[in-house]
Amino acid sequence: MNIQEHVSLRDKNWFQTGGNARFFAQPTNNSEFHDALFFAKQHNLACFVLGQGANILIADAGFDGLVIQPQLTTITLEQQEGSLVYVKTGSGVTMHDLIEWCLAHNITGLEEFSGIPGTVGGSTYMNLHYYQFTLDQFLHSAEIIHAQTGEIKTVDTAWFNFGYDQSTLQAKDYYLLSATFKLTYHTDPVAIAFARGRRVEIIRHRVNRYPATNTCGSFFRNFHDDEVTLTINNKKIIYVAYYLDKIGVKGTLSVGGARVSHQHANMLVTSAQATSTDIVDLARTMQEMVHHHFGIIPQPECQLIGFQQCPLLLPEVR
């Protein structure tokens, strides 16, 4: 297992900010992943598993531990029962490549997540979602490895305790090695043509609605029902973008090299000169403005990596 030292993470995340990893590894199979974890345990290092870096903010000071970026990239058709198929994929496969592989093999389902950056590992960690679709609707089983013991086991979907932006993986006791998805096989070429057309349309919609570079996607998560009191037509307004639109930050608010996108009020974008500190200061300003106007504090959906303590405002205790 090749362990590198002092590797820049700036070019390994979508914000294009942040410092170095003290140690860095790119395992290509389960055995190498095990060896990387053993190295971290031997040297008493914190671990962070990095995918495409699409939903993270890395501190300017970097990460004082071992960053593991899995290169487990095999995709196989495990089983077929009529139109039902099971596709197994390594955690390092990008969702883009997995969707393309499925469509090339007349398999549909995952095209609902077209245009969303990330690996299978990161997408499972966050329970990837787009409108009414969530990744757990398709996940059948997975291989996971224990962070401390290196034990590998197979678990079913229930093990993940999936929720909105939530999975058991977030406790960081286990890391994903592979995932098996339950999908649909088609013999009718029209069905595949339709799925491909839907993929193109979803991507077109996303490009028009959201920034496509130098962003982490949605920076803040939506509120939970018990966190808000504002209602419209007897329905609680949980969508954080509603509050951010109301305070008028879209395309206007900026700090240093970071600014709020003109396309979406909950997406921050960076220039080449941006630092992670710029992003933190911008996000805190947005939190303060929402709190001043509505009495609630948005919380990050974006993962904060390498910070000694949370640099953002924490939710108020009710």
Q: Residue ranges of the alpha helices (H) in the chain? A: 30-42, 95-104, 120-126, 189-209, 240-246, 276-294
Residue 315 lies in a domain: no
Burial of 249 (0-12, 13-18, 19+ CB in 10 A): buried
Task: Tell me, yes or no, whether 220 lies in a domain.
Answer: no
Q: Are residues 189 and 277 in the same domain?
A: no
- Regarding whether 205 and 128 lie in a shared domain, the answer is yes
In a shared domain, residues 157 and 275 = no
Are 111 and 45 found together in one domain? no
Give residue 1's pLDDT: 73
How long a stretch of residues is the chain? 318
Last residue within a domain, chosen from 41, 68, 95: 68
In DSSP terms, 156 is beta-bridged to 141
Residues 164 and 142: their CA atoms lie apart, in Å, by 19
Residue at which a domain ends, from 180, 209, 238: 209
In a domain, 199, yes or no: yes
Please give the model's pTM, rounded to 2 decimal places: 0.94
Number of domains in the chain: 3
Residue 214 lies in a domain: no
Q: Measuring CA to CA, how many Å separate 8 from each of 18, 98, 184?
A: 8, 27, 41
Residue 314 lies in a domain: no
> Do 249 and 279 sit in the same domain of this protein?
yes
Residue 310 lies in a domain: no
Q: Residue 118 belongs to a domain with what CATH number?
A: 3.30.465.10
Q: Is residue 316 part of a domain?
A: no
138 with 233, same domain: the answer is: no
pLDDT digits (tens), the chain, 318 positions: 799 999 999 999 999 999 999 999 999 999 999 999 999 999 999 999 999 999 999 999 999 999 999 999 999 999 999 999 999 999 999 999 999 999 999 999 999 999 999 999 999 999 999 999 999 999 999 999 999 999 999 999 999 999 988 999 999 999 999 999 999 999 999 999 999 999 999 999 999 999 989 999 999 999 999 999 999 999 999 999 999 999 999 999 999 999 999 999 999 999 999 999 999 999 999 999 999 999 999 999 999 999 999 999 999 866
118 and 200 fall within a common domain: yes
Task: Give the domain CATH number at 285.
Answer: 3.90.78.10
Three-state DSSP string of 67-117 = EECCCCCCEEEEEEECCEEEEEEECCCEHHHHHHHHHHCCEECHHHHCCCC
CATH number at residue 44: 3.30.43.10
Q: How far apart are the first and last CA of the chain?
A: 48
Verify that 81 and 47 share a domain, yes or no.
no
Q: Is residue 219 part of a domain?
A: no
The pLDDT score that the predictor gives to residue 318 is 61
Nearest to 90 by CA among 151, 186, 215, 181: 181
**pLDDT number for residue 317:** 66
Look up residue 318 and give its amino acid.
Answer: R
Domain boundary among 209, 242, 275: 209
Residues 86, 41 share a domain: no
In the chain, the amino acid numbered 292 is H
Q: Which residue type sits at 213?
A: T
Q: Does 93 share its domain with 166?
A: yes
Q: C-alpha distances in angstroms, 83 versus 64, 185, 197? A: 48, 5, 21
Same domain, 200 and 86: yes
Both 82 and 176 in one domain: the answer is yes
Q: Which domain holds residue 118?
A: 75-209
